[in-house]
Structure 1
Amino acid sequence: MNLTNILFNSQLRNNNNNTVYSTNDNNDDHVVVVSDDNHQMIGMMSKMGKYSTKVVVKSSAHVSYIVGKQGSKIRQIRQETGTFIQTPVNGEEPIFVITGDKDNVLLAKNKLEEAANEFDFNIFVEACTYKDGDRIRNNLFLPARYIGLVVGKKGSIIKRIMDMSGTTIVTPKVNTLNGFKIHGTTGQIRIAIDMIKDHILTTSNVMIEEQQPNQVEITLIIKDLLY
C-alpha cells in the first residue's frame, strides 16, 4: 500500500461524517469523499492523481450481498483491484465510493455493478419459481432503519398487517438482507404493501416513492421531509 492509500484509508476508516464532493455536473464520477475534520485531503488526493467514483445500488439488501459475510466479498474486490472502497453503513444511502488509479477504480466499479445485478437476478428467479395455487411471492425492500417500525413490538404491527391482508410475510433478520417476503394473491400483496406504506407515513415525517423494476420486486424509497 502506498502513502496515498495509507493517508486516505486512515482518514476514512473510522469516520462516518464524510462530505461528498463532485467535479462532474451529473454527479456520477470524480467524487472524492473527505472527512469533515480534514478538507485538505481534497488537495492531497488531487495532487497525487487519485481518481474516485461512486456506485449507487438500489437498497441496503444489495449492499449486504455485495459486502458478503463479514465483509468477505468486498475485501476480495479490494484486493483484486487494489482500490479503497468505502461501504455505506446502516441508515446511510446505499452508495459505495471507490478511490484509486482510474483503471482500477473502473474495474472495481464494474465488479460492484455485476454483484448488484447478480443479486437482482437471484431474487427474481427465487420469487418467480415460487407458486402455491394462486398465491405468489413479492420481495419488498425498504431502508433498514424502518424494518423495526414495520415489524412493531413483538411483531404486533406485521401480524396485524398479515391478518388484515390475508398474506404471509417473512420478516428479514437483523443485519441480513432487508427484504420482506410477502406471500399471497396479487390483490392481497397490494393491500399489505399499502398498509406498510400507510404505517410508515403515519408514524414518520417522510415521503415514499414506490419503484417496481419487475413483477416480483418492489422498493420503497423513503425520504425525510424537511420543514
Structure 2
Amino acid sequence: MPHRTRLPELPEPETFKRIKEQELFCVFKSSVFHQHKVTVGDIVQAEKLHRRDAGEKVVFGTVLLVGSKDFTILGKPTVPYAKVKATIEQQTLSQEMHVFWYKPRRRQQGFYRRRQHVTMLRIDEIVLTPEEDSTDPPPPKPVRLLDLWANRWLDPAEKEGIEMVQGEKEGELIPKTALIYDGSEHQPGSYHRRGLTSCYRYWPDPAASHWRL
C-alpha cells in the first residue's frame, strides 16, 4: 500500500555529525540467523567468531536499522554506510542445555548435556557516515603460502624471516608468495570466516561473500 502521508526527509550529513554516538541504537547481524538491537556499551552474546581472541577489535557491516530519538533509518535491506565496532570480551561456553534424543525404530531414548561455544562482545561505537564511500577494501595478500591467513597472527620476529621482493611500483616490497599466488579465495567466504576481511557481513547484505557463513 502506498504511504498516505508525506514521508520524513533524511537528515542532512551535518546532522549526523552533531549526534552523540551514545544516543544511537541499531540492529545488526552477528551471524546468518542472529540479530541484535544494541546501543553503545552493551554486551552481546553472539555465535563463535573463529580465530579471534579476547581483546581484539571487530567490525560488523550488516546493519539493518539505525535510529535515535530524532530519526530512524531503515535498511533496504541494509544501511550501507553504517557499521558497528565491538571488542571481544571473552571466548567462552554458554550454560548447560539438556538435549533429548530418540530413535523410534530402536526404541532408544535419552538425554545428553551440551554447551555452545559463544563470543561475548562489547559494543564500542556505532558508525554512521553517509558522506563516505561504503565499499570495503580488498582482503590483504598472503604473506606465507602455507598459511594464507597467518599474516594476522605472526609475531614480529616471524615476519622478519619472510622473504620480500620488489613489487610493480617503485619502492614497494611484497612477499615472495605473491609472485606464486595472487591471494584469491580458494572457496567463497573463506577469508570472511577467518576474519581477514575489513568487517563481517552476512546475508541479505549485498556485499556478503557467502550466505552460509
Structure 2 length as normaliser, TM-score? 0.27
Higher RCO (C-alpha under 8 Å, 6+ residues apart) = 2
Larger Rg: 2
Structure (1/2) with the larger helix percentage:
1
> Which structure's residues are more often strand, by fraction?
2
Normalization by structure 1: what TM-score? Answer: 0.26
